[in-house]
Chains A and B, each alone.
Chain A
Amino acid sequence: MKDIILGVKDLSVNYKNKNVLAGVDLEIEKGKIYSIIGPNGCGKTTLIRAMSKSLKPKKGKVLLNGDDIFEMKSKEIAKKMAILNQNNTTMSDVTVKKLVQYGRYAHRDWWKGLNKEDDDITEWAMEKTFVANLKNRRIDTLSGGERQRAWLAMSIAQKPEILLLDEPTTYLDICHQLEILELVSKLNKEEGITIVMVLHDINHAVRYSDEVIVIYDKNIYAKGDSWSILKSQVIEEVFNVQTETIIDKESNKPIFYAKRVI
């Protein structure tokens, strides 16, 4: 029996009067890592935003542990699901510690301060993401990689069962890209958090996830493990490139490169 944490049923979304997704069905199993890939403008971000209630769909449902998120209170959702957004530019100058404490918002009543449990979880989240030494720094003074880890700390301070990430590696150099992906995969292994992330880099997607979801032409074009996606013609059809796949001896995962535009 599959344990479905997040279910998308017949989802259609319009963005700026344009139909971006039409009739998407998707089941996210508990404890796995999923990557969503696809060409620019295919609706990857739209899908993840609709899954996190940031966009209202025209039709269809998103079910979190069986409950329709559009009928749930924001606080109830936030206790189970966290999201790391793409462009976290902010005019705020909060310190890292304060930011991570905001992650506890859903867990406390508005008239109460932070309790011992909140403090412990804040510390834990900062340790996990290696920002504990930056806790008194303001987020607007951090480097891109540090800032992304601080936002990640805030997300995990929510103690979510599932974490959605929208292009968490964009604007980071290769070292910081891997650092974030390693961190995410560690959170999955050690804390059992289900991960759904939108990624640009296909090699990152196949390397770090249990299943890859390919979005194309307003719907899910293919879904499966790394090998089945890369072996098929999917990448060539969707991205219009000729590809070559080899095996990485260390991880036994496929590595792919694009040879030329078709």
Chain B
Amino acid sequence: METADFEYVRDLVRKRSAIVLETEKSYLVESRLTPLARREGFGSIAEVVAKLRMSGFSTLHSKVVEAMTTNETSFFRDLQPFEALKKVVLPDLIAKRSPVRQLRIWCAACSTGQEPYTVAMLIKENFPQLSGWDIKILATDLSTQVLEKAKTGCFNQVEINRGLPSTYVVKYFERAGLNWQLKQTVREMIEFRPLNLIEAWPVLNPMDIVFIRNVLIYFDVQTKKEIFGKIKRLLRPDGYLFLGGAESTLNLDDSFVRSEIEKASVYRLR
């Protein structure tokens, strides 16, 4: 890939998503954009970039940004945060919210939906007493393409095989041809909406739990600080924040204090 083309893509992605692509990530750009070029009828990445240069922000620009920002995900990814959720976080919040019988959970950067669906299934499986509660899981992502897939609740065998307990497969999924689809009772717990973390956020309800995992790692320091500032205003005073394993609020926002629950790092407001 030509250096100038890489720099063009890097600047575009940086501007639209705040994700920083280091020069050594040019292999990543190639591996993500080659299928896109083919799909869109171009002979090479160079042709895609040439087309991008010819116009202002277009659908093609948007597709390139989405291709570069879609991240790997799986059900019960990392396991420990969900152990913490099951054993400590939800029991604590259920006790505190029993007068209002309401819980609000946000999965930011939800990708194809495995994280919010994991949360929904975990609630159904372990907290049947919440059946009469008003529980909403908001799941957002920058990419409308992944959200469309997420909304269907359809997953292929490879996705089902990864990290999902078989008891959950049997209880919460139905066969849909060669794929597996989550049952309506799980799908209806989640609202999927597009949201770009680095742009102005729409008005969101106060949240009891926020998952924003494995996305801040791509952002520069200033952007991380701005996002933590917004989460701080959104999270209820006794709420919980989950970050990815390699992420932390340390040296970025001292309003949060880290604690370890079930080997997972959990952040709470001071």
A is bound by B: no
Q: Residues of B at under 8 Å CB distance from A?
A: none
Q: Residues of A at under 8 Å CB distance from B?
A: none
